[in-house]
Amino acid sequence: MHMTDDETTDETTATPAGSEAVKGIRADRVERWLLDNIDGAIAPFTFEAITGGHSNLTFRVTGGDGRNLVLRRPPLGSVLATAHDMSREHRIISAIAKTDVPVPAALGLCTDESINDAPFYIMDFVDGVVFADEETAEAELPAPEQRAAASRSVVEVLASLHTADPDMIGLGDLGRKESYIDRQLKRWSGQWEKSKTRELPVMEEAYRRLLTGKPEQRYTGIVHGDYRLGNMLVDPATGSIAAVLDWELCTLGDVLADIGYLLNNWVQPGEETFRGATAFPTHAGGFSSREALVERYCDLTGFDVDHINSSVNYYRAFQSWRLGAIVEGVLARYLKGVMVDDSVDTDDYKIQVEQLAEDAVALL
């Protein structure tokens, strides 16, 4: 994630080139690469590990002239490769930049692992606030009209993504377009089997129900895969989305999967909010209702609101189960010690996976 300078003061660890203090950065080698490959880059550089991400690692790079860049690389150690392909992620944001969806500019890609032990790419640093929790929403969007504006921007950007033609922007071969749910169920059940840290029957029950209750895929396009306020930079002055982040799970397929995921994270005031390590900014109140989001989305896309309303619980259940598999993978990486932040309570992640699986069964 990217944050404003003020927000990262207590959450980052900086090191100048020549030091190995930041895990995941070979500062001397990366500095030479930046000077050779990024237009206008000026040494010396400092590197800051931006906390908050649980998968690919994100670092702020500050040049000698004060210019900020962002470096993304895979987690440390051995990981499942498909979700950590830097070339793919770089390609995606480069293509998405051709649409009305705001993304940071992709500036350079390094596939030579001798530079930093893993591929990485560089993108522009975008100013904005990441709304990771209720407290941030209350502090940064205090007025009802600001929260209403953020709600509108979230759904407008999603509609722009889902109505973009992947063939026109060079993403037509990003993945198979058909049978999205079938492919996802196969992928994430496989990941669950590879990553699970214990047996969890409720995850298996949710999987069985998802297999037997699949809706028809009616709307096909670019699926972000992790579309929520916590993966966006918001301009608090206007409430508009300054950039959509974290495209590592992006693919082609049933775009209503993004609707299910967004609605799961669009928690209403008074609803239960504990999900282990996850928080919900919309719990602060003043944001659009789930029903209003769906209605506005259909107005913008031309999709059938009745079809979405009749199938939305399935997509929400699918996303709860899928997120459970993802979080289990994060838990496994923390237990192996390959994440930058080693101060988390892994019991929270265990509880989160269990609750997500229970939510999926309840929705189905």
Backbone phi, psi, residue 278, to 5°: -105, 140
Average pLDDT over residues 265-279: 73
Q: Cα(364)–Cα(358) distance, rounded to whole angstroms?
A: 10
> Do 188 and 89 lie in a common domain?
no
Q: Cα(334)–Cα(249) distance, rounded to whole angstroms?
A: 20
What is the pLDDT, as a whole number, of residue 101? 98
Q: Does 76 reside within a domain?
A: yes
* pLDDT class of 75 with cuts at 50, 70, 90: confident
What is the pLDDT, as a whole number, of residue 270? 83
> Do 43 and 181 lie in a common domain?
no
> Do 175 and 303 lie in a common domain?
yes
Which of 124, 142, 157 terminates a domain? The answer is: 124
Is the pLDDT confidence value at 301 over 90? yes
Chain-centroid distance of CA 38 in Å reads: 25
Least confident span in 211-215, 240-244, 349-353: 349-353
* Residues 124 and 112 sit within 8 Å (Cβ to Cβ): no
Domain count, the chain: 2
Going by their DSSP bridges, the two strands 57-62 and 46-49 should be labelled as antiparallel
Tell me the per-residue pLDDT of 1-10, one tens digit each, with 9 for 90 and over.
Answer: 334 333 333 3
Which domain does 30 fall in, by range? 14-124
Backbone phi, psi, residue 272, to 5°: -60, 130
6 or 40, which is more confident: 40
What is the pLDDT, as a whole number, of residue 342? 65
- Domain of 73, CATH number, reads 3.30.200.20
Two structure tokens written together for 363:
């929705």
What is the pLDDT, as a whole number, of residue 276? 47
Q: Cα(265)–Cα(263) distance, rounded to whole angstroms?
A: 5
What is the DSSP annotation of 87-106? HHHHHHHHHHTTSSS--PPE
Tell me the per-residue pLDDT of 224-237, one tens digit each, with 9 for 90 and over.
Answer: 999 999 999 999 99
Q: Measured between alpha carbons, how far apart are the two ends of the chain, in Å?
A: 32
Q: Cα(331)–Cα(344) distance, rounded to whole angstroms?
A: 10
> Do 189 and 321 lie in a common domain?
yes
> Do 117 and 141 lie in a common domain?
no
243 forms beta bridges with 233
What is the pLDDT, as a whole number, of residue 76? 82
What is the pLDDT, as a whole number, of residue 12? 41
Percentage, residues of the chain above pLDDT 90: 77
Average pLDDT over residues 126-142: 94
Which of 104, 124, 144 terminates a domain? The answer is: 124
* pLDDT class of 277 with cuts at 50, 70, 90: very low
Going by their DSSP bridges, the two strands 57-62 and 68-73 should be labelled as antiparallel
Mean pLDDT estimate for the chain = 89
Inter-CA distances, 43 with 47, 104, 265, Å: 12, 22, 41
For the chain, what is the radius of gyration of the CA atoms? 20
What is the pLDDT, as a whole number, of residue 129? 96
* pLDDT class of 135 with cuts at 50, 70, 90: very high
279 or 281, which is more confident: 281
Q: Cα(28)–Cα(31) distance, rounded to whole angstroms?
A: 5
Using the structure block, give the residue that is written with the tokens 């009305």.
Answer: 100
Average pLDDT over residues 307-326: 96
Two structure tokens written together for 219:
């709307």
Least confident span in 38-42, 88-92, 327-331: 327-331
- Domain of 191, CATH number, reads 3.90.1200.10
What is the pLDDT, as a whole number, of residue 159? 98
Tell me the per-residue pLDDT of 8-21, one tens digit each, with 9 for 90 and over.
Answer: 333 344 555 544 46
> Do 40 and 67 lie in a common domain?
yes
Q: Cα(48)–Cα(22) distance, rounded to whole angstroms?
A: 7
H helices, E strands: number in the chain: 11, 10
> Do 100 and 174 lie in a common domain?
no
Task: From 358, 267, 263, select the one nearest 313 (Cα to Cα).
Answer: 263
Average pLDDT over residues 49-69: 86
What is the pLDDT, as a whole number, of residue 333? 86
Average pLDDT over residues 246-266: 96
Identify the helix (H) or strand (E) that includes residue 219.
none
Tell me the per-residue pLDDT of 188-218, one tens digit each, with 9 for 90 and over.
Answer: 999 999 999 999 999 999 999 999 999 999 9
Q: Cα(107)–Cα(117) distance, rounded to whole angstroms?
A: 20
Average pLDDT over residues 166-180: 96
> Do 210 and 85 lie in a common domain?
no
Q: Cα(91)–Cα(277) distance, rounded to whole angstroms?
A: 30
Two structure tokens written together for 200:
């969890």
What is the pLDDT, as a whole number, of residue 8? 35
Which of 124, 148, 173 terminates a domain? The answer is: 124
> Do 148 and 235 lie in a common domain?
yes
